[in-house]
Homo-oligomer: A and B are copies of this chain.
């Protein structure tokens, strides 16, 4: 019954790969890149150290994949919102809300992904991701300016500031261990959305 065997073997392989990625992600989430050492990841994934190297050529490559998976997903969420219908203002608000609320659910991970440096190689992925995000917001801001919805502004800088603004709103809660309450989270999210709206649009919310 080769079919079933192949199936099982592949399942196990995929499983291990996922387990390693999951373990790495978990350790990064808990203690940042610093505590995500090869031995610790192996232990957390319940495999031998050598096994890590069957799936990833180096620790850096493993981290890169962890980052890439998360970043791509986040970028997709924001991009989808940017491509949807609605005014620039509405889309930016949605995008900020989506991003911030998602990140607040795993703040330590968000921090690691957003700012914690590891390795020049790994950092490149992070930077690429941030640049991608900034570009998405930049495009929305330009739309809004063209449509007369927003005042003229340096869209690139505004976009960077916007991304920074909501990143900070993540980093701060991080250090405060609070935000366990859904209500507090909601308040932060909405205030951040409001801030962003004013920042690009100027003029008070009607």
Interface of A toward B, CB cutoff 8 Å = 32, 34, 115-117, 127, 130-131, 134, 151, 153-154, 156-158, 160-169, 171-172, 175, 187-188, 191-192, 194-196, 198-205
Interface of A is mostly: helix
**Which residues of B lie under 8 Å from residue A32 when comparing CB positions?**
117
Interface pair A203/B200, CB less than 8 Å apart: no
Are B117's CB and A195's CB within 8 A? no
Nearest B residue to A172 via CB reads B160
- Given contacts A198-B200, A198-B202, is CB(A164)–CB(B157) below 8 Å? no
Of the candidates B167, B196, B203, the one whose C-beta lies within 8 Å of that of A168 is B167
9 pairs of residues in contact across A and B, judged by CB atoms under 8 Å: A117-B117, A130-B172, A151-B204, A156-B191, A161-B166, A162-B165, A163-B168, A164-B171, A202-B202
Q: Is the CB of A127 within 8 A of B168?
A: no
| Chain B residues within 8 Å of A203, by CB | 202-204
Q: B residues within 8 A CB of A171?
A: 115, 130, 164
